[in-house]
Amino acid sequence: MNSPYKAPSSPVGENRSDTRALSPSPARVVYVVSNNLAKVSSLLPSNKNRSVLVHTLVKQYGLLDVANPQSARPIHPVPATVEELTRYHSRQYIDFVLDPYNFSKQDDAIPSSTHAEFGIQEDCPAFAGLHKYIPLVAGATLTAANSLIKGEADISICWDGGRHHAQKSKASGFCYVADCVLAILALKRDRINTLGLPPHKSRVMYLDLDLHFSDGVSQAFVSPGGPGSGEPQVLTLSIHHASPGFFPVSALSSLSDPTEESFDPFTLSLPLARGASDATFARMWKSVEAVKHAFQPDYVVVQCGVDGLAGDSYAVWNWSLGSSEGSLSWCVNRICRTWQCKTLLLGGGGYNHPNVARAWTHLTSVAVCSFSSSIATGTVLVSNRSLKSSQVLSAKEALLTKL
């Protein structure tokens, strides 16, 4: 597929001093995008063409205008190397998924049990371009994380990342690469220099807002019984829906119980019932911020899956994007404006693609302090109602003709 999206020019390699301090508002924001990233990410079977739609809408709202100081600075992703991928994934898994021969028409010599061993089946089928997708998506998230580490940004955005179900040696839940885990590992290797104090190991908080439990990330960092005598560097908090048989089935997805012997205070879960709304998030957000204040992270990684928004095909929660207390944009605005942490915003689930484009464009504007009410109400593409496929195509075509 030839991507119709044209990325704006990116001042890659621009020299900036590594101040290691948050800049005054508006925050410095980088946005990871390229023509190739949009093209390859749009091959994902569960979200075909979603990436192109997202990046096109973000660009059309002027949020990537390099001449406008009130926009995000676009940067190109650097594909992850095998060495970077195997900092978490097993070498056997990476060797298998990066070899295009394993998924070609001539792969009959490879037993189906091998595909199953690595999770390349059912919800994670093989697809043309998989060997390009994995290093590029992982590299995009690592590029975003590195911009924070180098002091080039206060907020980094990578909407093609957020693949929170991928396992160490197995694909799962539409996720083929554990980019969230790789980013956390990169951030936790950083050492923070505070004026007048000795350097300390960075602390990273991972907050997952997707409808589905972040099993891949939580399992990567859980320490049954707590972290022992070592200083904890990573805290994961997943806010999700959980019910019998709802994916993913995991013992870690239930409400964290401090009385259990296996309780890890740095691997937390907050399952919400069907119908969770803005009011639900408003009631429990003080608890989220209490966790943040107790942990005092240097970095926060936020997985902004939007399959919990009203209008998504899952139809489980009734969460809204708008600006009311407890809405998704309200929560993200609180993080970006009041938490005083370097922030990495990632994508995730979301299967009503026009609503996903609308949501992530809105959150991009929140990050760069340039919110316009027209993003919420001005066009049919971003309206609250669900759109028919014909309307989606017409809106997409209208956008692309302006590029």
Helix (H) or strand (E) holding 389, with range, is helix 389-400
DSSP letter (8 states) at residue 297? -
Active-site entry in 165, 241, 353, 362: 165
Alpha helices in 275-388 (DSSP H): 278-295, 328-338, 353-367, 373-377
71 in Cβ contact with 64 (< 8 Å) = yes
Closest CA to 146 of 30, 23, 7: 30
The backbone region for 96, taken as left when phi is positive above 0, alpha when psi lies in -120 to 50, beta otherwise, is alpha
Asked if 175 and 158 count as a contact pair (C-beta separation under 8 A), the reply is no
What are the helix and strand counts (H, E) for the chain?
13, 10
CB within 8 A of 113, min separation 6: which ones?
Answer: none
Give the DSSP H/E element, type plus range, for residue 46: none
Q: DSSP secondary-structure letter at 78?
A: -
Helix or strand (DSSP H, E) at 382? none
165 tagged catalytic = yes
> Rounded to an integer, what is the distance from CA 21 to the centroid of its chain?
23
Q: How far is CA 152 from CA 6, 31, 75, in A?
A: 24, 12, 11
Closest residue by Cα to residue 358 from 322, 324, 394, 391: 322
Tokens of 262: 């296996």
Closest CA to 14 of 152, 183, 205: 152
CB 171 within 8 A of CB 118: yes
Decide if 145 contacts 183 (C-beta within 8 A).
yes
Is residue 300 helix, strand or coil?
A: strand
Distances 311 to 316, 375, 386 between C-alpha atoms, Å: 10, 17, 6
How many C-beta neighbours within 10 Å does residue 265 have? 15
Residues identified as active-site: 165
